[in-house]
Amino acid sequence: MSLLQERAPEVVKLAKAERRRAEAKRAAREILLVLVLFMAYKVGRIAASGHVGEALANANQVWSLERLLHLPSEYGFQHALLGQQWLIKTMNCYYAYVHFPATAACLIYLYIWRRDRYKPTRRLLAWLTATALVVHLLMPLAPPRMLSAIGMVDTGRLLGPAVYGSPSTDSLTNQYAAMPSLHFGWALAIAIAMIGATRGRWRWLWLIHPTITLLVVVVTGNHYWLDAVVAAALLGLVGALLNFRTTAPAPAIPQPRVSEG
């Protein structure tokens, strides 16, 4: 047996180990990038903290605009369900505990099983978040749970679990960044990603997540209907721009001119 044949198993073993190390490095890099995305979500909201008076004034304007557009009343939805404490607590838990884990689970699934769709989805979430933070800076907006004059309540503080503390003492989150709703925007983004990554007629059931999220953010008093509308519009705009960037044809290379003899 030749020396090359004797060393072949060792070479294969070293190649596999090298591939595992490279894959581990890529996975660690992606985990770091996703953690940066989540931190940007939190830190960006703090940096975008708006003035209370301006945020409340904008809230009254959004409320009036929704009534002008004949949108359903958030107050009506909330108070129709307040008597069902188990349902309100379930919605509070959904708002508090599903948002980030569901997004992380989607990214992990795509990274492991549908790598071709992982980076586009991660990029979409990152740019949606960045665009939303710009809106938060330009238009601070108090959520409907702060509009006590119309009868809305904070269901989290009422029945638990509470996500936010008192706005006057909460230094960890910006509670005046209701528009757009990244809860809904991220939920819709991962639903679209999972619909594209799976097969069969049942894949459309992924839309249940953004549908439940929409009802939850409204009933808990954390967002207006228009917050979700703006989030969906931004998602469509960002998706269209990213798709255009990746599919735009490369500029034609001019052919060299043939010299005349």
Q: Please give the pLDDT value at position 6.
A: 57
Sequence-distant (6+) residues with CB within 8 A of 195 are 203, 204, 206, 207
Q: Please give the pLDDT value at position 179.
A: 93
DSSP-derived 3-state class of residue 200: coil
- Under a CB-based contact definition with an 8 Å cutoff, are residues 190 and 103 in contact? yes
The label of the residue with tokens 């990029």 reads 123
Sequence-distant (6+) residues with CB within 8 A of 128 are 182, 185, 186, 189, 231, 234, 235, 238
Model confidence, pTM: 0.80
Using CA atoms, how far apart are residues 125 and 185, in angstroms rounded to an integer? 9
96 by Cβ neighbours in 10 Å (0-12 / 13-18 / 19+) ranks as: middle
Residue 177 has pLDDT above 60, yes or no: yes
Q: Which of residues 104 and 173 earns the better pLDDT score?
A: 104
Q: Please give the pLDDT value at position 109.
A: 94
pLDDT in tens, 58-94: 999 999 999 999 999 999 999 999 999 999 999 999 9
Mean pLDDT taken over the chain = 83
Q: Please give the pLDDT value at position 40.
A: 63
Mean pLDDT of 233-259: 72
